[in-house]
Amino acid sequence: MKKVLTIAFWATFIGTIPAQPSVHTVSLVECLDMALENSAQIKKARLDRQGFELRLRESRSAAYPQINAGVRYEYAPVLPTQLLPGELFGQADGTYIPVQFNRPWQFTGTVTVEQQIYNESLFRGIPAINAGRSISDLLINRTEEEVLYNTATVFYQTLQMEQLLRSVNANLEKLVALQRIAELQLENGYAIPTDVKRIRVART
């Protein structure tokens, strides 16, 4: 039979102060899942791991060819006009012909490709980042194991405390019953005052 643990989530946990605490019953598996999901240590370790992954991708991308492309569009509603001598076109001397050499619009495109042949810092940096990523993976595993161990320890300690509290309450109920019996016996002359006092002292 699966053991369950009753946990009271008080107002300090949810930011309010109700008159009575709400009670929710969770199993050990649920506690472990919540611990893995909400642990600040695990979240930090995973963020560090993501940082190594991003740095590795950035370093690898720098080793690939870099392609840059651009397009430029120009529009000139009024084109510049130049005058050419008319005799070039069989006209009379002293005449000029207006000529426009351009178009109203122009498209120009550029493409550049760059490739690093050798970059010492780059080729040394990638193995270092890989090593850091591997260490980060180990740290994540160790952190998860520690969180699971600590959560399970607290879970079973709480179960023990709950069982101890039940035992104390059961003993207290027995003492209350014994005190009532002793008081009745004292009233009927079957007990002495010392017996009643002894039970009262045990209750306190």
- 3-state class of 102 per DSSP? coil
Same-domain pairing of 12 and 98: no
Put simply, whether the predicted model's pTM sits higher than 0.75 gets the answer no
In a domain, 53, yes or no: yes
Give per-residue pLDDT as tens, 151-181: 999 999 999 999 999 988 888 888 888 888 8
Give Cα 154 distance to the centre of its chain: 23
In a domain, 128, yes or no: yes
On whether the CB atoms of residues 104 and 77 are closer than 8 A, the answer is yes
Give per-residue pLDDT as tens, 30-62: 999 999 999 999 999 999 999 988 888 887 777
In a domain, 187, yes or no: no
Same-domain pairing of 145 and 156: yes
Q: Which domain holds residue 94?
A: 71-114
Same-domain pairing of 135 and 52: yes
Structure tokens at 162: 């709950």
- 3-state class of 35 per DSSP? helix
Q: Across all residues in the chain, what is the average pLDDT?
A: 78
Residue 28, Cβ density class (10 Å: 0-12 exposed, 13-18 middle, ≥19 buried): middle
In a domain, 180, yes or no: no
On whether the CB atoms of residues 129 and 48 are closer than 8 A, the answer is no
Same-domain pairing of 59 and 128: yes
Separation of alpha carbons 13 and 177, rounded Å: 39
Mean pLDDT of 105-117: 76
User: Is pLDDT of 4 > 70?
Assistant: no
Same-domain pairing of 60 and 25: yes
Please tell me the number of Cα atoms within 13 Å of 117 on its side-chain side.
0
